[in-house]
C-alpha cells in the first residue's frame, strides 16, 4: 500500500468519482491510499472464499457476501476501506442505491499480498475492529493460513490442515486447504 501525495483531505464522494484505472484506492481519515491491483494467487484465493461464503450465506439466508466493496467507516475526515471479501448479516443489510455502505461489514476478509507490510496490515485490521467489524480474516496464501481476529484482541491461527470456523457467519465451516485449492 502506498500513499499518494495530496494537498487536501479527500472525501468519500471524491473517492467515488476517481476514474477507473489499474489501481485500487481507499481512504483513511481523508488520506488517499493507492494500491496495485491483485495478482493471480490473490485473485484465486479471493474467488474461492467468495464462492464458499456466498453459497453458505445464500443457502442459509444469513446475509450477503460482497467482493471489494467500499465501506464508509467515518466522516470528516472520511475513512472508506474495501476488503477483498466481506459479509453483512441479514438483519444489518441496508439498501443504498449509490455510494459506499455506511458502516462496517460483520466480516472483512483481507487476502495478503507479498508486498503487504505488517505494520500497514495491522493498522487496517485495527481500523476494521475499531469501527465495529465483528471478525477480520487475514488470509496468507504464501503460508497457507487464515488468522481470525476479533475486537476482544483474540486471534486464532488456522493452518491448512485445520477446519476454519467462525461464528460471525453462523454454521460456516471449511477446510483451510480448500481455500488455497
Domain containing 172 — which CATH number? 3.90.1570.10
Is 21 within a domain?
no
Long-range pairs of 57-65 with CB within 8 A, sequence gap ≥ 24: 57/87, 57/169, 57/172, 60/170, 60/171, 61/90, 62/87, 62/89, 62/90, 62/169, 62/170, 62/171, 63/87, 63/88, 63/89, 63/90, 63/91, 63/92, 63/93, 63/106, 64/88, 64/90, 64/93
pTM of the model: 0.84
Is 144 within a domain?
yes
Maximum CA extent, the chain: 49
Give pLDDT tens digits for 154-172.
Answer: 899 999 999 999 999 999 9
Is 91 within a domain?
yes
Query: Grid coordinates representing 46?
Result: 479471493
Is 1 within a domain?
no
- Domain with 135 in it: 38-179
Is 8 within a domain?
no
Is 22 within a domain?
no
pLDDT value of residue 66: 93
Is 102 within a domain?
yes
Alpha-carbon dihedral sign for residues 34, 134, 125, 174: negative
CA atoms within 13 A on the CB side of 167: 1
Number of domains composing the chain: 1
pLDDT, mean of residues 1-23: 64
pLDDT value of residue 96: 64
CA distance 48 to 62: 19
Name which of 145, 140, 147 is nearest 177 in CA terms.
145
DSSP three-state, residue 133: coil
Give pLDDT tens digits for 51-94.
Answer: 999 999 999 999 999 998 889 999 888 888 989 999 999 988 77
- For residue 15, what are the CA distances in angstroms to 37, 123, 140? 16, 20, 28
Is 113 within a domain?
yes
pLDDT at residue 17 is higher than 90: no
Amino acid at each position: 500500500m502506498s500513499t499518494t501525495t495530496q494537498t487536501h483531505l479527500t472525501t468519500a464522494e471524491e473517492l467515488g468519482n476517481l476514474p477507473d484505472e489499474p489501481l485500487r484506492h481507499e481512504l483513511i481519515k481523508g488520506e488517499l491510499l493507492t494500491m496495485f491491483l491483485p495478482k493471480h494467487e490473490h485473485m484465486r484465493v479471493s474467488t474461492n472464499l467468495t464462492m464458499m461464503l456466498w453459497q453458505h450465506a445464500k443457502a442459509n439466508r444469513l446475509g450477503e457476501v460482497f467482493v471489494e466493496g467500499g465501506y464508509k467507516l467515518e466522516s470528516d475526515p472520511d475513512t472508506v476501506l474495501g476488503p477483498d471479501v466481506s459479509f453483512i448479516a441479514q438483519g444489518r443489510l441496508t439498501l443504498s442505491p449509490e455510494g459506499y455502505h455506511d458502516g462496517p461489514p460483520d466480516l472483512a476478509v483481507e487476502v495478503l499480498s507479498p508486498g503487504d507490510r505488517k505494520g500497514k496490515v495491522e493498522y487496517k485490521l485495527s481500523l476494521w475492529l475499531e469501527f465495529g467489524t465483528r471478525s477480520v480474516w487475514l488470509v496468507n496464501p504464501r503460508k497457507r493460513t487464515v488468522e481470525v481476529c476479533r475486537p476482544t484482541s483474540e486471534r486464532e491461527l488456522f493452518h491448512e490442515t485445520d477446519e476454519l470456523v467462525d461464528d460471525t457467519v453462523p454454521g460456516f465451516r471449511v477446510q483451510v486447504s480448500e481455500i488455497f485449492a
